[in-house]
Amino acid sequence: MPRRPEAGESTGSTGSEGELPFESALEQLEALLSRLEGGALSLEEALATFEQGVSLSRRCAEELERVERRVDVLVRSGDVERRRPFEPGEED
């Protein structure tokens, strides 16, 4: 059974994480990571924080996949797809 936030404790989102903007989800994920790395959390707090982090991480991954699909549609030319891996330093 998932742990419920205590009074005054943030749930990490204002509703469903699916509605949370990518940038906000990423910022919250970074904040959770800092809390975990701080080492001051109890085992239960660390577990709840980790669970929130996993949820936010999945939210970010889903959004990145959605954006990648949109980019794929934009770069297609007819039946031939011009997609290739990005190489740092390339300028096209």
Whole-number percent of the chain with pLDDT over 70: 66
Mean pLDDT of 53-82: 84
CATH of 19-76, one of 1.10.150, 1.10.287, 1.10.1060, 1.10.10: 1.10.287
Contact criterion met (CB below 8 Å) for 25 and 64: no
Please state whether the predicted TM-score (pTM) of the whole model is above 0.85: no
- Residue 13 pLDDT exceeds 60: no
